[in-house]
Amino acid sequence: MLLFKSLYYNGQNLSRKDSSFVYLRMDFSELIKLRQSVRQYSDRSVEREKIIACLEAARLAPSANNSQPWKFIVVDEPELKNRVADCTASLGMNKFTYQAPVMVVVVLEKENLFSSLGGKVKDKIFCHYDVGLAIGQFCLQAAELGLGTCIIGWFDEKKIRELLNINRKRRIPLIISLGYSETPVKAKKRKPMDEMSRWNAYN
């Protein structure tokens, strides 16, 4: 797979000139290590083609009964983007959203009949899983293109709804910040394999 080199690929602080147009071979296992929550962004704006590529990755995500219960609202107009940032920053959380040049507000759309009926029968809310998967694909595609993201769950949903004229019946599960990273790639802190997995039985 040929792809863009990230600004801080493999911990190297590459110059901006080098960062976007050097092609590397990166396989999936490298990509998932490279993707991380980015909370420091450069002021470089994000090319629309790259944002569209991320949207396409989300569009192709799997969902229960292929319901695709999501709408991604890209906010890249600077003043409006800062008003979205206002809705995410409180109690010391998410101040970095003012730095990010793009915020993507993800709206939960009505799932299709089979998905909602199936969910009722099985006592599961499939659309919540669906939207998480789509956002995961968006963020991985962004990482492949040399962009940083942070998934944001802490925000004032009512204010976002008013700001973007979103119907009050619609939930807004998550927002994604997007931009060029100013953060070196860090090692992941995760539970060890023997804690997070089992073979053939729970215990």
* Contacting residues toward ligand FMN, per CB under 6 A: 36-37, 39, 93-94, 150-154, 174, 188
Q: Is the dihedral of CA 145, 30, 69, 100 positive or negative?
A: negative
Least distance to ligand FMN, CB of residue 72, Å: 15
Question: How far is it, in rounded angstroms, from Cα 105 to Cα 81?
Answer: 10
Least distance (Å) between residue 156 CB and ligand FMN: 12
**Toward ligand FMN, which CB reaches closer, 52 or 93?**
93
Question: Considering beta carbons, is residue 64 or 176 the nearer one to ligand FMN?
Answer: 176
Question: What distance in Å separates the CA atoms of residue 110 and residue 119, rounded to the nearest whole number?
Answer: 13
Count the neighbouring beta carbons within 10 Å of the beta carbon of residue 3: 17
Which CB atom, from 41 or from 112, has the smaller least distance to ligand FMN?
41
Q: Are 147 and 83 in contact (CB under 8 A)?
A: no
Nearer to ligand FMN, 57 or 112 (CB): 57
Tell me which residue has its CB nearest to ligand FMN: 153
Shortest approach of ligand FMN to residue 200 CB, angstroms? 29
Q: How far apart are CA 139 and CA 51, in angstroms?
A: 11
What minimum distance in Å lies between the beta carbon of 169 and ligand FMN? Answer: 22
The identity of residue 66, as a single letter, is N
